[in-house]
Amino acid sequence: MIVDTIGNWRNYPLGPAWEKAFCFLESLSSDVATGRHTIDGTDIFAEVAEYETVPEERKPYESHREYADVQFLLRGSEWLDYAPLGTLAVLQDYDPARGDYMLHTRAGAPATRITLGNGVFSVLYPEDAHAPGVARDGVPEAVKKVVVKIRLSLLKGR
C-alpha cells in the first residue's frame, strides 16, 4: 500500500502505466463526468463516482486480484480502512464474472484508518484489504471520487 499526496506521485518509479494513471489524475477537475473513463483500454481505466459516505459497519472490506486501485477524492473527504488480507474472513468469494473483487468481513480486523481528501491518494494492491467510503466520525459526507485501476502486470516491481 502507498499513501501520499498527489504532488509526490513521481517519487514512485513504477513505470509507464503508473505515469499514465497519474497524468490522468492530474488532468481532472471536480466537474469531470461520473462513470468509466478509458485511459489505456482494459489495462488502465478510471471510475468516477459521487456518493455519500456511510458508517463503517455498512462497509465490508474488499480486495482485488488483477488490478491495483489508486483512490483519490476530487471533492470531500472519507476514511479508508485498511487491514492485511490474511487477517480477514471471506464474505464473498472472488468471481471474475462479477468483477475483480472479493469481499471480507470486518470482524477481528486490525484496521488502520487513512483519511482521503485534500490531495491524499492511496494505492492498494491485492494483499491490501480496504473498506473505502467510511464516514469520518460517523458523519455522512457527499464526496466525488476517482478510482484508477492499473493492471498489476504493468507496474514495475510487481
Instruction: Give the pLDDT confidence of 79-96 residue by residue, as tens digits.
Output: 999 999 888 999 999 888
Place of cell 483519490: 72
pLDDT in tens, 92-133: 998 888 889 999 998 877 689 999 999 999 999 999 999 999
- The CA angle 114-117-121, to the nearest 5 degrees, is 65
Q: In the prediction, which pLDDT does 107 show?
A: 81
**What's the CA gap between 31 and 14, in Å, rounded?**
29
Task: Say which residue the cell 478510482 belongs to.
Answer: 147
The fold of 2-154 is Jelly Rolls (2.60.120)
CA 53 – CA 143 distance, rounded (Å): 7
Look at phi and psi of residue 46 and say left if phi exceeds 0, alpha if psi is from -120 to 50, else beta. Answer: beta
Report the distance separating Cα 115 and Cα 149, nearest Å.
20
| Nearest alpha-carbon partner for 94 in 139, 122, 62 | 62
Domain regions of the chain by residue span: 2-154
- In angstroms, the CA 30 to CA 57 distance is 28
pLDDT per position as a tens digit, 28-60? 999 999 999 999 999 999 999 999 999 999 999
